[in-house]
């Protein structure tokens, strides 16, 4: 076996191990509150959140979950909150792509933690940006009171959800809610501010204040069913539109309502009959190096992802540390902006280091983004970037101006944008490559992703120097061994914060995906995006 083949095999094994760990972690999270709580749910005649989704979506179709790792390793002092206590994703209902939100009552009775609110808001944002229906399967005890100050009063907190209900309704984005368990206090507004609501007899209830609070507030004694059960809220108050007997009947009714909904004009994204890549998709696992500092060919990665492995490169010989190309992914026409990780020569013969954005690369990318907007071609950003080039030569060459030009183009781009963080995504490079702050319709990470202001080694050096300097001022100059330990501890902490799991826990990315499913996730993202009208592109103030 040649050295090249050996390196390929080593990379492949390392990436397969990362994928295996990803799947194992995901399976544990999907258990929710555990087997015992699942059995209690079944004993009440209720399906679990994931069982409800499986029943709701079309047979032989897949649920594209996002936010699985939300709240991962957070709230340990409160017993944890797997998947933030709510399941969200894209699924087909009667052939239509919908956002589905299902409270997981096995996790703290479906109570809302801060990340639960953030995850619900992200689901609504996806429905709004892509103009697709959203289905709420409600089964929640309401706000988790010990943390109410972190979820109740601010702009991006709990109340924003009801504001979004109203905005979506005004824009004609269909919302259907099924009250499949508890629905109390402020949470009662969500299903009733939806366009249509369903409640299940005996298990579903909805009220602004439960029996205990009613007694405490006004002295009235009343049982849950009389106060806000299915009969009360359909036949007496008229608050809820439909009354059904079981979870299955409620889910069948949702399918029936979706089936009768009219169709809307598409955005007009171009799609033809899909073709598989000529190169095997699995090859990218051997191409992507285990050592994240090593160079590799992003061109080879792209050839594993695009239809027929065919790319038409824009300004191929210019600005070589960013690749810009037209291609198709699962039949969809796309413009790709990807960081090239090889060391290349510029047109002047200067060596340019892979993963770094130089002035010429930024200029090229900005112009390509503008061109794709003119042609109504969605953009796919593939990150493996350490940031913009620094130093005297770059500053004299106007790197800030050219970087600003690229960031401006990304910020003002109106075609759908999807970001894949394949490797590093550091500093302003994250912004220029359409990081979370730049409104990608969807943003996914591979298990190999790293997201931070800078790399762990560089950051640890800087932070260690600061700590050593502080100790010196106190007259405690550390010896070399102590400095080494400080560096290692600092790097360990910093590296943990750059992990894709750390990012996914905080919803900086929508999901960590298996790299071999990248084509599928991009395709579903573009299918969703094709439902929303594309506004006219205006680049704003930009220096050319």
Pairing relationship of beta strands 175-184 and 96-103 according to DSSP bridges: unpaired
Q: Mark out the alpha helices in 288-358 (DSSP H runs).
A: 298-305
pLDDT of residue 455: 73
The residues facing 131 across adjacent strands are none
pLDDT confidence of residue 541:
54
Spell out the residues 6+ positions from residue 117 whose beta carbon is closer than 8 angstroms to its own.
151, 156, 157, 158, 160, 161
Record the pTM: 0.93
Please count the other Cβ atoms lying within 10 Å of the Cβ belonging to residue 161.
Answer: 21
DSSP secondary structure letter of residue 148: G
Q: What is the largest CA-CA distance in the chain?
A: 84
Token pair, residue 217, equals 């507030």
DSSP class of 152: S
Find, among 389, 408, 380, the residue nearest to 323 by Cα: 380
Q: Are 361 and 330 in contact (CB under 8 A)?
A: no
User: What is the predicted pLDDT for the residue at 141?
Assistant: 84
Provide CB contacts within 8 A for 282, sequence distance 6+: 304, 516
Q: pLDDT tens digits for the chain (544 residues)?
A: 898 899 999 999 999 999 999 999 999 999 999 999 999 999 999 999 999 999 999 999 999 999 999 999 999 999 999 999 999 999 999 999 999 999 999 999 999 999 999 999 999 999 999 999 999 999 998 888 788 888 888 888 888 999 999 999 999 999 999 999 989 877 788 999 999 999 999 999 999 888 888 888 899 899 889 999 999 999 999 999 999 999 999 999 999 999 999 999 999 999 999 999 999 999 999 999 998 888 999 999 999 999 999 999 999 999 999 999 999 999 999 999 999 998 877 767 777 777 899 999 999 999 999 999 999 999 999 999 999 988 888 887 889 998 999 999 999 999 999 999 999 999 999 999 999 999 999 999 999 999 988 776 777 777 777 887 777 788 877 778 877 887 788 778 778 889 999 999 999 999 999 999 999 999 999 999 999 999 877 776 555 5
Helix (H, G, I), strand (E, B) or coil at 39: helix
The answer to whether the beta carbons of residues 244 and 231 sit under 8 Å apart is no
Whole-number pLDDT of residue 524: 98
Distance of CA 504 to the CA centre of its chain: 7
Bridge partners (DSSP) listed for residue 313 = 325
**Contact (CB, 8 A) for 84 and 116:** yes
What pLDDT sits at residue 336?
98
Q: Which of 465-498 are b and which e, b meaning 16 or more Cβ less than 10 Å from the residue's Cβ? A: eebbeeeeeeeeeeeeeebeebbeebbeebbeeb
C-alpha separations of 43 from 178, 252, 339 in Å: 20, 21, 53
């Amino acid at each position: 076996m040649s050295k090249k083949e050996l390196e390929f095999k080593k990379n492949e094994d390392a990436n397969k191990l990362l994928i295996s760990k990803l799947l194992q972690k995901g399976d544990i999270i999907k258990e929710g509150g555990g087997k015992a709580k699942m059995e209690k749910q079944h004993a009440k005649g209720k399906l679990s959140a994931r069982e409800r989704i499986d029943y709701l979506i079309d047979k032989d179709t897949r649920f594209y979950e996002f936010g699985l790792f939300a709240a991962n390793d957070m709230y340990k002092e409160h017993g944890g909150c797997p998947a933030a206590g709510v399941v969200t994703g894209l699924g087909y209902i009667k052939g239509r792509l919908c956002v589905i939100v299902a409270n997981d009552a096995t996790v703290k009775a479906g109570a809302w933690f801060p990340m639960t609110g953030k995850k619900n808001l992200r689901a609504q944002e996806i429905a709004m940006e892509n103009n697709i229906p959203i289905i709420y399967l409600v089964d929640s005890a309401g706000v988790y009171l010990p943390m109410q100050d972190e979820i109740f009063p601010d702009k991006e907190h709990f109340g924003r959800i009801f504001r979004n209900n109203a905005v979506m309704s005004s824009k004609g984005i269909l919302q259907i809610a099924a009250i499949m368990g508890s629905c109390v206090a402020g949470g009662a507004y969500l299903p009733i501010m939806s366009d249509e609501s369903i409640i299940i007899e005996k298990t579903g209830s909805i009220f602004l204040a439960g029996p205990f609070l009613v007694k405490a507030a006004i002295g009235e004694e009343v049982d849950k069913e009389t106060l806000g059960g299915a009969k009360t809220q359909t036949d007496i108050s008229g608050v809820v539109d439909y009354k059904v007997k079981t979870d299955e009947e409620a889910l069948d009714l949702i399918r029936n309502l979706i089936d009768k909904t009219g169709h809307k004009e598409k955005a007009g994204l171009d799609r033809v009959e899909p073709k598989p890549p000529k190169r095997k998709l699995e090859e990218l696992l051997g191409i992507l190096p285990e050592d994240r500092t090593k160079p590799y060919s992003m061109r080879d990665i792209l050839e594993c992802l695009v239809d027929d492995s065919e790319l038409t490169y824009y300004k191929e010989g210019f600005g070589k540390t960013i690749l810009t190309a037209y291609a198709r992914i699962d039949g969809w026409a796309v413009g790709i902006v990807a960081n090239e990780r090889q060391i290349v020569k510029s047109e002047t013969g200067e060596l340019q280091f892979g993963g770094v954005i130089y002035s010429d690369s930024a200029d090229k990318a900005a112009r390509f983004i503008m061109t794709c907007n003119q042609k109504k071609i969605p953009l796919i950003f593939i990150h493996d970037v350490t940031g913009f080039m620094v130093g005297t030569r770059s500053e004299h060459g106007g790197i800030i101006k050219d970087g600003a030009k690229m960031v401006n183009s990304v910020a003002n781009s109106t075609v759908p944008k999807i970001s894949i963080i394949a490797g590093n995504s550091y500093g302003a490079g994250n912004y220029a490559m359409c990081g979370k702050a730049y409104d990608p319709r969807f943003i996914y990470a591979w298990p190999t992703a790293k997201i931070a202001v800078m790399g762990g080694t560089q950051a640890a050096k800087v932070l260690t120097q600061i700590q050593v300097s502080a100790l010196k001022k106190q007259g405690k100059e550390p010896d070399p061994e102590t400095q080494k330990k400080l560096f290692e501890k600092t790097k360990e902490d910093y590296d943990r914060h750059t992990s894709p799991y750390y990012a996914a826990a905080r919803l900086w990315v929508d999901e960590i995906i298996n790299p071999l499913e990248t084509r599928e996730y991009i395709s579903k993202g573009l299918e969703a995006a094709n439902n929303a009208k594309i506004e006219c592109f205006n680049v704003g103030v930009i220096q050319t």
